Amino acid sequence: MPHHVNIALPIPARRTFTYTVPDDADVQCGMRALVPFGKRTLTGIIVETHAPSLAEAKPVHEILDVIPVFDATMLEFTKWMSDYYLASWGETLHAALPQGMTPESVISVSLTAPLDDRQLQEMARHAPKRAALLVALERHKGPLHVSTLQRALQSDSVASQLDALEHAGLVTISREIHGRAKAKTQKAVSLSADIRSDHDKLRALLDELDSRAPVQARIISVLSLHHRRSEEPMVVAELVKSAKAQTASIQTLVDKGICEEHVVEVQRRGDSDGAESLAHRDETALPLHAEQQHASDVIADALSSGQQKTFLLHGITGSGKTLVYMHAIRKARELGKSALVLVPEISLTPQLIDRFRMTFGNDIAVIHSRMSPGERYDTWRAIAGGRISIVLGVRSALFAPIASCGLIIVDEEHESSYKQDSPSPRYHARDSAVMRGVLNHAVVILGSATPSMESMYNAQTGKYHLLELHHRSDNAVLPTVRLIDVRDARKRKKMSGAFSDELLDEIKKRVAANEGVLLLQNRRGFSPRLECGDCGHIPTCNQCSVALTYHKHTNLLRCHYCGSTRPALKSCAECGSAEMAEVGVGTQRAEEELQELMERDGVKARIARVDLDSTSTKGSFRKLLTDFKNGSTDILIGTKMIAKGLDIDRVTLVGVINADLQLYVPDFRSTERTFQLLTQVAGRAGRSGSFKGEVLIQTGHPTHTALLASQLHDYHMMYNDELQHRREAVYPPYSRFVVIELTSTDMQMVDAHAQHLCFALPRTHPALQVLGPTRPMMDKLRGQFRRVIIIKNRKAEDPGGNILRHAISTALQHYRDRHAHSNVRVTVDVDSQSAV
């Protein structure tokens, strides 16, 4: 008699599915199973082993594990996550599994050691399929591809046998593409090096091709966008799709020498091996200062007592939070527990990793986005096997299979990159970390110099325990902050381009004294756009509803999302005014402008730029930092990449070129985010007792709370002021902010569907405020129309969020039963971080 199991499948449907397994099969919850689903075969996770029987249940193809890949806690955790974020459990479990854990990821198999005859005979008796597999491998004398093995054994799948044999150490499985011979290769192209390195040349080329050969222009646009993110060439198939082009047009560009052809295998490399370390000492040897000592003691007590507690560690920049983390980790290890450290973005925190490596050596696994499936798999196994006691990684490291997880640290907890946008589950790694802490009975530390409104509110209301560090370590003091009113300076003719004379003077002084200068311009590239001086109209893309970038010398407007162009008009399309003016300065323009101004004033300054474009190659960010740290560069000018976590003694001046970029975007978090960015970047100055720091912030709004609070280093001023607004407008922390988004290529359809769905939501419930449907700021993206419904879920009326979840699930069900159509996509984002 077969029995029934319930399996969570990686599809959006928010339910599990019943299958049968043979009665003698050893099945446990948390094991992977290969199952038929319609015409497809899916890998799901067994979540219930004694399910009620169901007549039409199909048998599973295969159980893929001998020991579960998820333990009971991780099953509970992912279940919670899928409930809270309204995702399917199967999708959530799928997100929690590293790539490389699917049977398809196995590339080749070889024998670990020559076979022992007796062992083989033994096995032939109780596991004939495994034995046959070993014999096939032995006969071949070399690694074999899985499909070859399957053919040799006349079997559809050998995944479970392989898994068992790998566990027993009898076979070695390779999950990576090694030699070229076995690697699958693809054709790819890149922009030729001279065009990539020369922005003007690129622009000239684009402008030339725009009218004559728009398809070629589009290909170049797509490629140059691609190169901002990656050094690697772009796979031709991908390029054809993104640029809506034929391979013939690509070939033309190759023939002209504008593009270069490559043959690639998709392979990723590790992070920082062999590079110069950005850390120089084991910091745990330093004596703690009084506040650090107190925080460490309190945390150590919680760890020893084994109680679950969540701390908010609010420590000003340079107060030594990292050292508190390190002591907590050391304590956890003494108690035989493992630690999980989450950071917002690995590539932006090379220094933090080096500091941890310097202190903990190799007992630390770093999980980052550039890992290959093979590396991921190996790391996952090493962690699950308890061979590593510290895991440091980005958002997804939250799912690391740490068995005795006693400590979870979320560094820079206010960072919005902790929120997953897409795909589902759209979880917030910080809030989920707190939940994982609860389930693991672990101590959780959320650390920041500028805590999120939500976390501080939780601390103020007693849900979290607040620990504060008010002083900098090592006799350093906070820098003085000066606000420069650019509107006033411009009137008094004290501005050259984007730079005030005041800021230029300070820069020159520091360069002369051989001290470091950091300049923040939180916008990439040149990005000038046109704006009407009378009515404020900004020309936007028809496909994407984003501001078009202005290309001066050809007088064209170009969209950076889809590559389309149109001529720039002299007069405003809205009001007819002739006051269309170029506005906006990106990092690249700012760098050029500064270089010119320094030359004008006879100052020799070595300037380097830090943004996504200049750091796309592996190790380039690290190199820029090393040069700056040892004084071969005087000035780093960059996006918010330079605001995060840098700890470099010689920085005595931080300048903010335009503090207002984020201030007036229609986002209820804009004050909070501006304050966070300014405080973080200001915190890079004067971090050592031997250098005093100064910060100059250029703004048109010197009396705005975000600016004033930054000037006074007064987090609580911002917090209290902002809290008032949030309460009045029922925004977080007083509510859960939920965004339901509908997208479609058909505008009428998306409008109608948004209405239908909105109509199905309760309109008068005191716990729910439903707004919309409305057009978001970007109401069209790459040809997809977007509509949003916003729900503010009052926490006072619905503390656990049950009313919210019930309302949305019911409405979605109603919508699916009556209206759903494949041309309209609906997504739900609980605790959304995006501006709409």
Q: Does 326 bind Zn ion (CB under 5 A)?
A: no
From residue 244 to residue 283, what is the string marking binding to ligand ADP with x (rule CB under 6 A)? ---------------------------------------x
* Complete edge-to-edge strand list for the sheet that includes strand 17-21: 58-59, 17-21, 3-8, 40-48, 32-37, 62-63
Locate 433 and state its tokens.
């970390």
Which of 396, 473, 676, 679 is in the footprint of ligand ADP by CB under 6 A?
473
Residue 317's binding partner among Zn ion, ligand ADP, none (Cβ under 5 to 8 angstroms by kind) is: ligand ADP
* Minimum separation from the CB atom of position 244 to Zn ion (A): 13
- State which residue, 193 or 290, has the beta carbon closest to ligand ADP: 290
Kindly state whether residue 638 participates in binding ligand ADP, applying the rule CB under 6 A: no
493 CB-contact burial (10 Å; exposed 0-12 / middle 13-18 / buried 19+): exposed
Whats the size of the chain, residue-wise? 836
Exactly one of 122, 198, 282, 474 binds ligand ADP (CB under 6 A); that residue is: 474
CB 203 within 8 A of CB 220: no
With contacts defined by CB under 6 A, how many residues of the chain interact with ligand ADP? 18
Which span sits near ligand ADP by CB under 6 A: 12-20, 286-294, 459-467, 630-638?
286-294
Residue 574 touches which of ligand ADP, Zn ion, none (CB < 5 to 8 A by kind)? Zn ion
Exactly one of 136, 286, 388, 835 binds ligand ADP (CB under 6 A); which one?
286
Q: Are 359 and 91 in contact (CB under 8 A)?
A: no
Measured CA to CA in angstroms, residue 202 lies from 128, 196, 211, 221, 228 at distances of 63, 7, 15, 9, 13
Output the six-digit token pair for 778. Answer: 């970007």
Round to whole Å and give the CA distance between 9 and 102: 13
292 binds, among Zn ion, ligand ADP, none (CB under 5 to 8 A by kind): ligand ADP
Binding range to Zn ion, per CB under 5 A, among 220-228, 376-384, 568-576, 699-707:
568-576
Beta carbons of 399 and 376 less than 8 angstroms apart? no
How far is C-alpha 243 from the geometric centre of its chain's CA atoms?
A: 25
Is residue 743 a contact point for ligand ADP (CB under 6 A)?
no
Is 482 an interacting residue with respect to ligand ADP (CB under 6 A)?
no
Question: Which element (helix H / strand E) includes 529?
Answer: strand 529-532
Q: What does the per-residue mask of binding to Zn ion show for 499-538, with x meaning CB under 5 A?
A: ---------------------------------x-xx-x-
Is 358 among the residues that bind ligand ADP (CB under 6 A)? Answer: no
Among 561, 668, 691, 759, binds Zn ion (CB under 5 A): 561
CB closer to ligand ADP out of 687 and 713: 687
**Among the candidate windows 79-87, 147-155, 241-249, 541-549, which touches Zn ion by CB under 5 A?**
541-549
DSSP assigned state of 569: P
404 token code pair? 């005795």
Which of 127, 136, 204, 288 lies at the binding interface for ligand ADP (CB under 6 A)? 288
Q: How far is the CB of 783 from ligand ADP (least distance, A)?
A: 44
Q: Is 577 in the site for Zn ion (CB under 5 A)?
A: yes
At 824, give phi and psi (nearest 5°).
Answer: -125, 125
Q: Confirm or reject binding of residue 793 to ligand ADP (CB under 6 A).
A: no
DSSP states of 224-292: HHHHHH-SSPEEHHHHHHHHT--HHHHHHHHHTTSEEEEEE------S-TTSPPS--S-GGGSPPPHHH
Question: Does residue 556 interact with Zn ion by CB under 5 A?
Answer: no
CA–CA separation, 147 vs 254, rounded Å? Answer: 36
- Per the DSSP assignment, residues forming a β-bridge with 448 are 314
What sign for the dihedral angle of Cα 535, 538, 540, 545? Answer: negative
Nearer of residues 279 and 730 to ligand ADP, judged by Cβ: 279
Q: What is the spatial distance between Cα 685 and Cα 141, in angstroms, rounded to a whole number?
A: 62
At its nearest, how many Å lie between ligand ADP and the CB of residue 445?
A: 12
State how far Cα 300 lies from the chain centre. 31
Which tokens go with 276?
């110069």
The pair of three-digit structure tokens given for residue 23, joined into one six-digit string: 């009665």
Assess 579 for contact with ligand ADP (CB under 6 A).
no
* Shortest Cβ 322–ligand ADP spacing (Å): 3
**Should residue 676 be labelled a site residue for ligand ADP when binding is judged by CB under 6 A?**
no
**Which lies closer to ligand ADP via its Cβ, residue 345 or residue 592?**
345
Token pair of 171 as six digits? 């076979």
The CB-of-323 to ligand ADP minimum distance in angstroms stands at 4
Can you count the helices (H) and strands (E) in the chain? 26, 37
Closest-CA residue to 369 (of 389, 349, 383): 349
Interface map 223-242 toward ligand ADP (x if CB under 6 A):
--------------------
Q: How far apart are CA 430 and CA 342, in angstroms?
A: 8
**Does position 350 bind ligand ADP by CB under 6 A?**
no
Q: Which does 827 bind (CB under 5 to 8 A by kind): ligand ADP, Zn ion, none?
A: none
Site track for ligand ADP across 290-319, x = CB under 6 A? --x----------------------x-xxx
Q: How far is the CB of 461 from Zn ion (least distance, A)?
A: 44
Should residue 323 be labelled a site residue for ligand ADP when binding is judged by CB under 6 A? yes
Judged by CB under 6 A, which of 322, 458, 565, 639 binds ligand ADP?
A: 322
Tell me the C-alpha to C-alpha distance, in Å, between residue 652 and each of 515, 568, 625, 632, 681. 6, 43, 16, 16, 12
**Residue 289 lies near ligand ADP (rule: CB under 6 A):** yes
Binding site for ligand ADP (CB under 6 A): 283, 286-289, 292, 315, 317-323, 473-474, 647, 687
Binding site for Zn ion (CB under 5 A): 532, 534-535, 537, 541, 543-544, 559, 561-562, 572, 574-575, 577
